[in-house]
Amino acid sequence: MLSGSGLAGLYQSREMSAMNAGLVEIADCPTVTPRPDDISDHDYIAMLSTLGPVVRDRNGILVTFTQESLTLSNDPALTRQIETETMDLLGITSGPVYDLFSGSMLFSNDQRHRARRTPMARIFAHRMMNAIRPEIRKRARDLIRPGLGKPCFDFLDNVAGQLPARIIAMILGAPERDVPHFTKLVYSAIRALSIRSISVMADAAKDLGELNAYCDDLLAARRAEPCADFLSDYVARTKDADLTEHEIRTQIVTLILAGADTTRLAICSTVSQLLQHPEQWSVLRADPEVWVQAAAAEGLRYDPVIGAHLRAVTSDFAYRGVHVPAGTMLGPSVLAALRDPDVYAEPNTFNMERTDHPRLHPVFGAGAHRCLGEALARAELEECLVALAELTPAPSLVGAPPQITGLGATRSIDQMTVRL
């Protein structure tokens, strides 16, 4: 499969040569059909994909369904990261949520993106994240042990929700006593990263405002009394950087939000699938050090924590007979791309022994915007799986499997109860 500028050139060449040869305009593309009752996200996306290679949702966003289109959408020759476009769709022009979008490295491009990301980048190198793996595994064990022997244990709140929040708090140097309140704010504020109802956005904005204030206090404390930790290093790196106070704080908030909820969902998604496939759990448990990376990669693929990667189109191109014009928003479905039959054998089957994963896992994005916290997320997911395999010979789900839902950015989960 072509990637990068080669892929962009191919599609632009096709567009240039075929602009007058019967390309479908987006106004003529099918629109998203109503969702039937009691249908899963994956089945709904599969149903939409039968309408055509490109469909339009109610916000005018163009939805595609292949890994090819996901790769194409990440090409900087054709698209850029969205900035405040989703705020425009919702009519939000001020407040904590708008400030997050306007000031975060997640929603910026070129020089502003580099200025915001660079002070953070060093701490999240794979080498440094691998160095804290023993501490991550220890904390995972500590969270799992209280559930051993209990007939019902809330895995979502007591393990998956706690581990990434505690590790982020540890990296930031937040006091242990603040973790419960910190965790509550994070899992409420994260909802602001997806297009949701006005009432939900308002509730998320309230807790995001509190999280902003909490981070302001952390930064002030490190400026007053620096110590040998990440936050002090970050403060020093931003001292002469081209960043406003708003941007300095917003990158910390971005780190917290991006580094907690997605990992919480990834842990639940992966563990849930392993428990629903006991034969694969047995393989992992027999040799966790050998199989943990494969199990994590398949968990991230099969029911991903990201529903779509939204990008703004900057150059006209053609995709599978459709003219995609500059100025539109393109939202390839990650759910569909990670079950693309042109890439994965038996894509609707959870199989941690598969060998057809791409070299770079698509769930983490691509290019300049590839997830900064990938190494940390992998470390937390993998070390949690190893700890669980070491401590629990035959865990099982209690009640219905967790439902991870959402077609947009960060998805949601309802519950996860286990017997350890």
Residue 329 β-bridge partners: 312
Contacts of 364 (CB under 8 A, 6+ apart): 370, 371, 374, 377
Q: What average pLDDT does this structure show over 382-400?
A: 96
Per-residue pLDDT, averaged over 103-116, amounts to 95
Q: Which amino acid belongs to residue 277?
A: H
Question: What does the alpha-carbon distance between residue 329 and residue 325 come to, in Å, rounded to a whole number?
Answer: 9
Which amino acid is it at 418? V
9: alpha, beta or left, given left = phi > 0 and alpha = psi -120 to 50?
Answer: alpha
pLDDT at 2 over 80: no
pLDDT at 87: 85
Residue whose token pair is 């979008």: 101
Give yes or no for a contact between 320 and 54, defined as CB atoms under 8 angstroms apart. yes
| Three-state DSSP class for residue 295 | helix
Higher-confidence position of 321 and 178: 321
- 413 three-state secondary structure: strand
- Backbone φ and ψ for 197, nearest 5 degrees, come out as -65, 160
Model pLDDT, residue 179:
83
How sure is the predictor about 326, in pLDDT bands with cuts at 50, 70 and 90? very high
**pLDDT of amino acid 315:** 96
Tell me the mean pLDDT in the region 134-152: 97
Task: Give the pLDDT score at 21.
Answer: 61
Beta-carbon count within 10 A of 251 CB: 23
**pLDDT above 80: residue 305:** yes
| Rounded Cα gap, residues 104 and 247, in angstroms | 7
| Residue 54: Cβ within 10 Å count | 22
List, for residues 213-228, the tens digit of each pLDDT value.
999 999 999 999 998 8
Report the range of poorest mean pLDDT among 218-232, 282-296, 338-352: 218-232
Report the SS3 class of residue 63: strand
For β-strands 396-397 and 417-419, DSSP reports them as antiparallel
In angstroms, rounded to a whole number, what is the distance separating the alpha carbons of residues 159 and 413?
14
- The more confidently predicted of residues 238 and 4 is 238
The reported pLDDT for the residue numbered 17 is 47
Residues 6+ apart with CB under 8 A from 262: 305, 306, 377, 410
Q: Which amino acid is at 287?
A: D
Q: Which band of pLDDT confidence, cut at 50, 70 and 90, is reported for residue 255?
A: confident
pLDDT for 384 equals: 98
Highest mean pLDDT among 30-34, 72-76, 241-245, 272-276: 272-276
Kind plus residue range of the DSSP H or E element containing 417 = strand 417-419
What's the rounded Cα separation, in Å, for the pair 165 and 259?
A: 8
Q: What percent of the chain has pLDDT over 90?
A: 72
| Residue 359 CB neighbours (<10 A) | 4
Mean pLDDT of the chain: 90
The pLDDT value recorded for residue 12 is: 52
Q: What average pLDDT does range 296-308 have in this prediction?
A: 97
- Rounded Cα gap, residues 115 and 127, in angstroms: 23
Burial class of residue 307, CB neighbours in 10 A (0-12, 13-18, 19+): buried
pLDDT of residue 3: 40
Please state, in angstroms and rounded to a whole number, the distance separating the CA atoms of residues 235 and 222.
7
- Average pLDDT (148-160) is 96
Strands 412-413, 404-405: pairing kind: antiparallel
Which pLDDT score, from 0 to 100, does residue 238 have? Answer: 92
What count of other Cβ atoms lies within 10 Å of the Cβ of residue 279?
A: 7
Lowest-pLDDT choice from 10-24, 126-140, 147-161, 275-289:
10-24
Buried b (16+ CB within 10 A) or exposed e, 29-38: beebeeeeee
According to the model, what pLDDT value does residue 6 have?
45
Q: What is the pTM of this model?
A: 0.90
Return all residues near 148 (Cβ < 8 A) that are at least 6 apart: 391, 392, 420
Q: Which of 19-23, 32-36, 353-357 has the lowest mean pLDDT?
A: 19-23
Of the ranges 94-108, 152-166, 190-204, 352-366, which one carries the lowest mean pLDDT score?
Answer: 190-204
319-345: average pLDDT: 96
Segment holding 256, helix H or strand E: helix 245-276
- How far lies 351's CA from each of 212, 342, 391, in Å? 41, 17, 23
